[in-house]
């Protein structure tokens, strides 16, 4: 039985997700077992961003693109009603700053480099990166570090648009 391009695409996405989750868990190492639900939710959020990029053809191998057809990704975009920036990010209600989106440093850098990051005040989960380096990276994009928001599991870094510019 011949596979349709939709079947090939679905299998490709499933394979990429499986490989991504396996790699994610491997990279976290033993720390993953300490709070697997939290790590899994983080991996799922990151996968959503990766999948949206793949659906536009970004990061898809040329051989698969040729197999699917030149207009496959345009058809995908036309048939699906999704916004590349409107990925559902976790939010937290902070006492002093209201409801803020939580971004991983990787998501922030990726969205900022694409010129599609729009939040004026937000939280950053630095993940396993150094705090000073994370603050420096975000400040290089025109934001100022204004504090921290602790939770039971992690301390987030709060940033807002640098209004002095």
Each residue's pLDDT tens digit, 74-104: 776 665 544 444 456 788 888 888 899 999 8
How much is the pTM?
0.49
Residue 23 lies in domain: 5-79
Q: How far is CA 76 from CA 12, 53, 73, in A?
A: 15, 12, 5
Report residue 32: phi and psi, to 5°. Answer: -55, -40
Q: Which of 53, 79, 105 is the last residue of a domain?
A: 79
Domain end call among 40, 59, 79 = 79
Q: Could you tell me if 98 and 133 lie in one domain? A: yes
Indicate whether 84 belongs to any domain.
no
Number of structural domains found in the chain: 2
Give the pLDDT of residue 85: 46
Residue 27 clears pLDDT 50, i.e. is over it: yes
111 and 139 share a domain? yes
Q: Which contiguous run of DSSP H or E holds residue 131?
A: helix 131-139
């Amino acid at each position: 039985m011949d596979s349709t391009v939709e079947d090939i695409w679905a299998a490709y996405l499933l394979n990429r997700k499986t490989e991504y989750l396996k790699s994610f868990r491997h990279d976290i190492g033993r720390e993953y077992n300490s709070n697997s639900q939290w790590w899994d939710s983080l991996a799922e959020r990151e996968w959503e961003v990766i999948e949206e990029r793949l659906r536009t053809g970004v990061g898809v191998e040329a051989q698969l693109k040729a197999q699917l057809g030149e207009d496959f990704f345009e058809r995908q975009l036309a048939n699906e009603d999704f916004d590349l920036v409107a990925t559902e990010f976790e939010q937290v209600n902070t006492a002093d700053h209201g409801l803020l989106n939580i971004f991983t440093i990787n998501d922030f850098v990726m969205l900022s480099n694409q010129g599609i990051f729009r939040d004026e005040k937000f939280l950053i989960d630095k993940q396993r990166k150094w705090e000073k380096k994370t603050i420096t990276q975000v400040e290089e994009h025109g934001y100022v570090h204004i504090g921290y928001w602790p939770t039971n599991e992690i301390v987030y870094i709060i940033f807002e648009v640098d209004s002095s510019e």
